A and B are shown apart, each in its own frame.
Chain A
Amino acid sequence: KQEVTQIPAALSVPEGENLVLNCSFTDSAIYNLQWFRQDPGKGLTSLLLIQSSQREQTSGRLNASLDKSSGRSTLYIAASQPGDSATYLCAVGLSNFGNEKLTFGTGTRLTIIP
């Protein structure tokens, strides 16, 4: 059974700092890995998707890496801003399109201190 872990559960950093969020998974036979952002009481916003054959993806100030063999992914946020405050969830997909169950971690609650 695939298990996804995110550590730490909560993180507070001053505005402007760079930070790294961690995600680990137990079964390396994944199809892709997706990072999401969730604001309180809201749905999920997709940030980045990394295919199992890729090592990293970048979007603006965000960079996600994937090391499938070690079962780890990181989300790097550069020059953090108060608007980055949210819960960040990683999820692994085990199959290709048409059969796309995602297994989620419990998230890291990020607070950026102005």
Chain B
Amino acid sequence: DAGVTQSPTHLIKTRGQHVTLRCSPISGHKSVSWYQQVLGQGPQFIFQYYEKEERGRGNFPDRFSARQFPNYSSELNVNALLLGDSALYLCASSLVETQYFGPGTRLLVL
């Protein structure tokens, strides 16, 4: 089975722009979570969706939003990008408890 996939792998944006990141979970996994990992730090929780409903939200501004589609794939949207949004964005899916992470999308904001 394919693992968690994310697109794009890399992205360069300028301040003030909008970005959409995409995640496809492992087949059969209904839970998807998003994390932001700044260089040298551990991942920080952004959102969790289960069966298309938001189940958790981390301490991130309203510029960050997400949704989950009927096929359980997910999008993370970030508006009005700031330099500090530059990070590796990780998506994870789970069936029971163990979370399986994708390779991430590296976002650079200039």
Contacts and interface: CB of A to CB of B under 8 A. Distances in A.
Nearest to B94: A100
B60 to A, nearest CB: 12
A99 B104 contact: no
Q: Is the interface of B mostly helix, strand, loop or mixed?
A: strand
Interface residues of A, number: 27
A42 B43 CA distance: 12
Interface stretch (A12-20, A43-51, A69-77): A43-51
Contacts of B104: 42-43
Interface size class, chain B: 20 to 34
B106 A100 contact: no
B27 interface: no
A55 interface: no
A43 B97 contact: no
B53 to A, nearest CB: 9
Interface of B: 4, 31, 33, 35, 40-45, 48, 50, 55-56, 58, 88, 90, 92, 94, 96-104, 106
Interface of A: 4, 32, 34, 36, 41-46, 49, 51, 89, 91, 93, 96-107
